[in-house]
Amino acid sequence: MTTLHINGKKYQLELKGNETLLEVLRNNLGLTGTKTACEESECGTCTVNINGKSVLACITMAAALEGDRITTIEGLSNDDVLHPLQQAFLDKGAVQCGFCIPGFIMSAKALLDKNPEPTREEIDYALDGNLCRCAGYLKIIEAIEEAGKIMKEQQAQN
């Protein structure tokens, strides 16, 4: 039995040991916000956060994550209130087809948690493994900059 901590909840799973985190999230737990695309660590659509770092779920073995804190796109919102990143992506029109957006948001979250005021170069570096076929990169970058400002304001208020 493997215990995974995902989005603040504890899951006891019987795993064979060869399942990727992506497979477990989507097939076992129904958390389909983490997308399946290349399954070869090339596109970033499956990005999640593990212990605050961006990780590709398609190449990460689930059984190796016992005790780690895993956050998926579903774990960002608080009830009906979107996370500042999610809201900024909507407000800035950074969502086109939307398929790649969860991966971009999770990569951006790892960056903004460490640095709420990243330069464009730092944002580009953090998003290096994420691909958007719609080529909406400028709006994505603007959304991340906006979310960083909001997150910094929220931290100052707490």
What domains can you pick out in the chain, each with its CATH number? Answer: 2-74 (3.10.20.30), 84-157 (1.10.150.120)
DSSP string covering 19-88: -BHHHIIIIIS--TTS--S-SSSSS-TTEEEETTEEEEGGGSBGGGGTT-EEE-GGGTSBTTBPPHHHHH
Tokens 């170069």 belong to 121
Distance CA 143, CA 104 (A): 11
Q: Which pLDDT belongs to residue 97?
A: 86
Query: How many other CB atoms sit within 10 Å of the CB of residue 56?
Result: 23
Q: Which pLDDT belongs to residue 154?
A: 84
Tokens 């215990």 belong to 3
Distance CA 37, CA 25 (A): 14
Q: Which pLDDT belongs to residue 157?
A: 84
Q: Which pLDDT belongs to residue 61?
A: 96
Q: Which pLDDT belongs to residue 133?
A: 87
Chain-centroid distance of CA 48 in Å reads 4
Distance CA 29, CA 9 (A): 11
pTM attached to this predicted model: 0.93
The one-digit pLDDT tens for each residue of the chain (158 residues) are 899 999 999 999 999 989 999 999 999 999 999 999 988 888 999 999 999 999 999 999 999 999 999 999 999 998 889 999 999 999 999 988 888 999 999 999 999 999 999 999 999 999 999 998 887 799 999 999 999 999 988 888 87
